[in-house]
Structure 1
């Protein structure tokens, strides 16, 4: 799960602005937003950096929150 679209909408940023800041295609960004594609660490950092470049102060955890479903089992 990611909050790319949510953060973009809250910040008043159009998808095409994020696409331009990233230098990616609109389809690629749309796929990440819709969850059809999962961003790796490099892509996730690029997305956060693009938001920061567009004036949105956010972190990796803001856009890609840690899963609450992960359980840690004791050995």
Structure 2
């Protein structure tokens, strides 16, 4: 799961501002925020950069927390 919407709202950023910054559709951003679609690494980086550009202070792991419950392959 991700924290896009939580961090965006916490920073007072409207979804339309994030959409405009990314140049993506509302449907795409909404699907990422709701967890219906999982963004790839480049999209995750773009979302994190856009949130920071718009005033949220966050790192990639803040927006897309690593899954601590999943065992890691050796």
**Shorter-normalised TM range:** over 0.9
Q: Which runs of 5+ in 1 are unaligned?
A: none
Q: So what's the TM-score if we normalise by structure 1?
A: 0.92
Distance of 1:5 and 1:26 partners within structure 2? 13
Identify if the C-alpha distance between structure 1 residues 42 and 72 changes in structure 2 by more than 3 Å, giving closer, same or farther.
Answer: closer
Question: Structure 2-normalised TM-score?
Answer: 0.93
From the CA coordinates, give the structure whose radius of gyration is larger: 1
Paired residues, what number? 74
In structure 2, stretches of 5+ residues that fail to align are none
Q: Supply the RMSD in Å over aligned alpha carbons.
A: 1.2
Q: Matches of residues 1-75 of structure 1 in structure 2 within 5 Å?
A: 1-72=1-72
